[in-house]
Chains A and B, each alone.
Chain A
């Protein structure tokens, strides 16, 4: 409820605080270890596919090509038409449920390992480290006054970033325009205006997001961070600092009996903060900024090894596991809980249904449109004219025969037509159906066209329903 308060009293309660958080530039320290290995594995796996796929030939065309101009979408041996949009929908549903499932089991696996924002940031960080050096050197360089050396390093870094970004933009456009044609056009500066725009736009987005924006994309732009909490529960594996084991944190000599001093295993070296790409301290607990990259686990494990302490002060662990002191095996048993089982069941149902639909998909589509003209003047014989749009979505020419049924004595005038339709093209065939007027009732009568292929060992048969209209009076 609104409670009006005299202005004088509230005006006194004024504040002075910053309107926006000022961004601190983050210089993540490079790290090696088990999870870094996996992150690099996914960098290679996703990028080999992304950069390599457009170059893969298939018979005499590009294996994966989304030909927007001709509205044909080639994926290996399959040709999708705009009518197949349902497969795209299913693909998106599968992606969404996979995300839900992975998140419920082990948090932000997608963010930490496979998201393009993570992958390209990883690549850009690698370039940065190669040119400017690791964390300490980079921080020193940024603070140093402008010199020829600094300008040279910065120019080299941005040059390399822009090269990678442009190659990424070029590859992206290569999914929509045959990439070999595109490659031939680039040296001659022969790219079309839209191709140029998209190469530059996608390149700019890559350069800007992976080079400059980095963790801000995850923190402020990506909605996933904000709704991940509804997919988490107390048995979800998240990257956790074991406070019970780590506290009281503090520096100590390697040989010292730290327990006697009341210290925990955390030596407070700050490595976990230095390696964090979003600049948080994982020891503060689960935070929405944490993208689950596990760099802090690798960093901490190295320190634990040096100190001779057991690994896993920071580790994948669930809330319940920490509270109840579950073993790793005990934690894994908790994975099979209703939420995960339901996600898995739904996911597999959709995947199997989509797979079945893809296998059963026939390369022929038929649309029937009835003409407005209903009859020629002959009182004993009712007629309807139809346009059959027959689409051959396969990449070989096919012959078709058209037949019709559904009413006694229904016949196609001039006999059942045979048509030849070229690869991945369509043809309109006009068909006039006739039936003895006595065999059909006035109004709409259901009939069906059957289009079958000729010359196939197992002919493809497509049936399409239509209405046959009979007027009350001839």
Chain B
């Protein structure tokens, strides 16, 4: 692929490079006067501080030959490597090809290791100490920014080290979550329910996990819950892993379990997104990473 938008620039760069080298060589040749034995050296014709004059001596030979060497080097370089406009050079070198070469070399040395794990079941990979180390490094690189270095998450970022899962914690589901990502969405109910309705629904949700709540509000919120919330969270509030609706009865909260936070969640809804890693990591690394994550809550 060429970096030039227009054929003109390729010629411009090429001609300018060649002309510069030729001009340097010409200048050097023109300046290469030699000392003639016996002949006097002229001064440059200016004098400072009464008697400081500058001799017009020829260039030192070692310096001149080094300059010729740089010219020879630049010609050789431009013949071998890209530099003269679109001309790719005799070596056909490119950064892209070098990158691909290095990738291929890495794949060659690490490929067998990952292939071994790809052929194993996730619990078996999770039990392998070397795979765990690789998995931890992958996790720290790609996952820890959101899920934290200890995998216990943060506000809005699920804890991966407990046995509580939004979409299910079996090996295949974890692998699917990493590969394709997830989009969690809870619609806002503030306008539908009104502030009183939100407060009552929050009271009922609190009662599901046995937290301190306003009994009257919870009682009037039950009907609201059945109408609006049970479709996703289930009639008993146990959630639905098919589309990641959280279980509201287990006292594990993604955004917080205080009355104010729950009311905020109901009022404004929530949007959450886990990016898809399948294409970036590839099947084999995803397998090792999924094994590491599964192993966090299924310690051997």
Q: Which residues of A contact B (CB under 8 A)?
A: 1-5, 7, 10-11, 13-16, 19-20, 371-379, 385-387, 413, 428, 430-432, 474
Query: Could you tell me the distance between the alpha carbons of A176 and B167 in the complex, rounded to whole angstroms?
Result: 53
B140–A373 CB distance below 8 A: no
- Name the residue on B nearest A471 (C-beta): B155
| B43 to A: closest C-beta gap in Å | 5
Set of chain B residues within 8 Å of A10, measured between Cβ atoms = 43, 45-47, 53
| A466 to B: closest C-beta gap in Å | 13
Set of chain A residues within 8 Å of B155, measured between Cβ atoms = 375-377
Set of chain A residues within 8 Å of B43, measured between Cβ atoms = 10-11, 13-14
A385–B48 CB distance below 8 A: no
B154–A373 CB distance below 8 A: yes
| B213 to A: closest C-beta gap in Å | 16
B277 in the interface (beta carbon within 8 A): no
Query: Could you tell me the distance between the alpha carbons of A283 and B272 in the complex, rounded to whole angstroms?
Result: 90
- Name the residue on A nearest B137 (C-beta): A428
Set of chain B residues within 8 Å of A15, measured between Cβ atoms = 40-41, 55
B257 in the interface (beta carbon within 8 A): yes
B49–A13 CB distance below 8 A: no
| Complex partner residue of A16 from B38, B149, B151, B154, CB under 8 angstroms | B38
Q: Which residues of B contact A (CB under 8 A)?
A: 35, 38-43, 45-50, 53, 55, 57, 60, 136, 140, 144-157, 159, 253-258, 261
Given contacts A375-B155, A376-B155, contact A430 B40 (CB under 8 A): no
B256–A14 CB distance below 8 A: no
Given contacts A5-B46, A19-B57, contact A385 B149 (CB under 8 A): yes
6 A-B pairs closest in CB distance: A377-B256, A430-B150, A373-B154, A7-B45, A14-B40, A430-B149
Query: Could you tell me the distance between the alpha carbons of A318 and B253 in the complex, rounded to whole angstroms?
Result: 86
Given contacts A5-B46, A10-B43, A16-B40, contact A374 B154 (CB under 8 A): yes
Given contacts A15-B55, A19-B60, contact A371 B149 (CB under 8 A): yes
| B248 to A: closest C-beta gap in Å | 14
A373–B46 CB distance below 8 A: no
B53–A13 CB distance below 8 A: yes
What are 26 A-B residue pairs whose CB atoms fall within 8 Å in the complex? Answer: A1-B48, A3-B50, A10-B45, A10-B53, A11-B42, A11-B43, A14-B41, A14-B43, A15-B55, A16-B41, A19-B35, A371-B144, A373-B145, A375-B155, A376-B153, A377-B253, A377-B254, A377-B255, A378-B257, A385-B149, A387-B140, A387-B149, A428-B140, A428-B149, A430-B151, A432-B150
